[in-house]
């Protein structure tokens, strides 16, 4: 079983460090040697030829090409590009309508090695038991899943029926679990700004834990934005315009630029290009991805691909998805191809399509040519079944009463990205005709 809770301190193991030092000096062979590839350097923006030696979970050496051949396993990256593993800073597995194991099997072969999961709906339906199931379900996956504690259960008190009601005490309990890494997106913005006792206690629990406190700041500006940040919120993925992007960067928030805001991404790229550099507080996330989109287009790799298509430098897109993300998470073992860092590595065919040829996680090859090397074992989902308590649906539940001969109805069309519209519909015998 993979012990993620020992990370990142597992790299401080003296025996591992001793082996890595010996291999780097040439006194011992590498476990894995990657040769012939071009490293995308997340610090200097260079794309340079170099070979990479790995010992156990750790990168032991990044050195001149063809200067070492002593290794137990040789991987050729000739003609390809090497990046740290991609890190998705905010997502919901349940939005993809899969189990964590299936999600991992889909995104890992595409180069995603770490995700930050808010299991909001698990908490909303099953309370603490649902969140505990979520943490158990990710323990033995090839994907590193950093699970957060849902902060807004219910999301809209007084407007919905939920299976639990999380307050500061519930948040404190979840944050005491070693496999909970922080407070998930705080959606009750008004509650935070107005110092609602419940929301204040939830945020304070996160601050006291010294773990992540993540935000959801849609539409906040000026004094409200300042108050939200002053309360202790550290990130946002709900950008609404180019001006909003700049305001939140200036406010010091970590930006989780989300792929499901596709209509906004070209403008964000233009704004960042005009700025002339990529702020270290810009990261990438998927947030919600429907299962067909996940299977056909991908996860965070698709976000990287689209940003490059819209005009951002490949190095910037990758840095947002790797080093910047690792910095936000406080994980200095991730996000960089350098000696002493964790060996989470992706070998891409090119920097246009970002098709992952080989994926290495914790020093082990976990995927090649789009296929996992070992299928993950899914946790029994039985505790999740028969948990939605609603009355049986009838035909009448789907009938919409109306007066007059015609009505205008709002529509939601979801090809790839949601489009809103209106249609005119007939009314007969007091009900709308579809």
Dump pLDDT digits (tens) for 57-77: 999 999 999 999 999 999 999
Is the pLDDT at 119 greater than 60? The verdict is yes
Residue ranges of E strands in 237-332:
254-258, 282-285
On average, the pLDDT of the chain sits at 95
**By percentage, how much of the chain surpasses pLDDT 90?**
86
* Structure-token pair, residue 34: 């990657």
Better-predicted residue by pLDDT, 407 or 112:
112
Is the pLDDT at 218 greater than 60? The verdict is yes
* Structure-token pair, residue 108: 């890992």
- The reported pLDDT for the residue numbered 5 is 78
Dump pLDDT digits (tens) for 126-136: 999 999 999 99
* Structure-token pair, residue 354: 């970002």
- The reported pLDDT for the residue numbered 163 is 87
Q: Where are the domains of the chain?
A: 395-432
Is the pLDDT at 277 greater than 90? The verdict is yes
Average pLDDT over residues 154-163: 81
Dump pLDDT digits (tens) for 194-204: 999 999 999 99
Q: Predicted confidence band at 434 (pLDDT cuts at 50, 70, 90)?
A: confident
Average pLDDT over residues 117-143: 96
- The reported pLDDT for the residue numbered 418 is 65
Dump pLDDT digits (tens) for 382-411: 888 888 778 889 998 999 999 988 999 888
Is the pLDDT at 415 greater than 60? The verdict is no
Is the pLDDT at 6 greater than 90? The verdict is no
Average pLDDT over residues 292-304: 97
Residues 6+ apart with CB under 8 A from 140: 1, 2, 376, 377
Residues 6+ apart with CB under 8 A from 420: 410, 411, 412, 413
* Structure-token pair, residue 280: 């270290």
- The reported pLDDT for the residue numbered 60 is 99
What are the two backbone dihedrals, phi and then psi, of residue 298, each rounded to the nearest 5 degrees?
A: 110, -170
Is the pLDDT at 413 greater than 80? The verdict is no
Q: Predicted confidence band at 420 (pLDDT cuts at 50, 70, 90)?
A: confident
């Amino acid at each position: 079983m993979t012990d993620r809770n020992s990370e990142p301190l597992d790299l401080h193991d003296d025996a591992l460090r001793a082996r890595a030092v010996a291999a780097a000096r040439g006194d011992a062979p590498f476990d894995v040697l990657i040769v012939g590839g071009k490293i995308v350097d997340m610090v200097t923006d260079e794309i340079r030829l170099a070979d990479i030696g790995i010992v156990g979970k750790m990168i032991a050496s990044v050195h001149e090409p063809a200067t070492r051949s002593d290794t137990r396993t040789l991987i050729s990256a000739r003609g390809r590009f090497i990046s740290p593993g991609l890190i998705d800073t905010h997502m919901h597995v349940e939005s993809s309508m899969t189990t964590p194991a299936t999600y991992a099997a889909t995104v890992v072969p595409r180069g995603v090695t770490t995700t930050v999961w808010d299991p909001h709906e698990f908490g909303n339906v099953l309370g603490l038991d649902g969140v505990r199931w979520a943490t158990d379900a990710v323990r033995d996956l090839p994907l590193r899943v950093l699970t957060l504690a849902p902060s807004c259960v219910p999301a809209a008190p007084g407007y919905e029926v939920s299976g639990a009601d999380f307050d500061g005490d519930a948040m404190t309990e979840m944050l005491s679990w070693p496999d909970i890494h922080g407070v998930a997106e705080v959606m009750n913005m008004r509650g935070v700004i107005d110092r609602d006792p419940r929301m204040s206690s939830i945020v304070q629990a996160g601050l006291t834990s010294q773990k992540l406190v993540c935000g959801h700041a849609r539409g906040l500006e000026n004094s409200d934005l300042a108050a939200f940040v002053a309360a202790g919120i550290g990130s946002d993925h709900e950008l609404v315009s180019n001006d909003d992007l700049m305001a939140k960067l200036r406010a010091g928030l970590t930006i989780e630029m989300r792929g499901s805001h596709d209509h906004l991404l070209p403008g964000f790229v233009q704004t960042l290009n005009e700025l002339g550099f990529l702020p270290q507080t810009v990261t990438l996330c998927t947030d919600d991805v429907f299962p067909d989109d996940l299977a056909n287009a991908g996860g965070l790799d698709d976000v990287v691909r689209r940003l490059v298509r819209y005009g951002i430098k490949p190095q910037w897109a990758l840095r947002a998805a790797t080093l910047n993300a690792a910095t936000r998470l406080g994980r200095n073992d991730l996000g960089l191809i350098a000696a002493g860092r964790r060996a989470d590595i992706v070998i891409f065919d090119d920097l246009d399509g970002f098709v992952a040829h080989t994926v290495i996680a914790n020093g082990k090859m976990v995927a090649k040519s789009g296929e996992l090397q070992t299928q993950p074992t899914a946790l029994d989902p039985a505790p999740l079944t028969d948990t939605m308590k609603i009355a049986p649906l009838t035909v009448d539940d789907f009938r919409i009463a109306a007066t007059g001969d015609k009505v205008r109805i709002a529509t939601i069309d979801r090809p790839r990205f949601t489009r809103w519209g209106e249609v005119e519909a007939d009314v007969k015998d007091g009900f709308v005709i579809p």
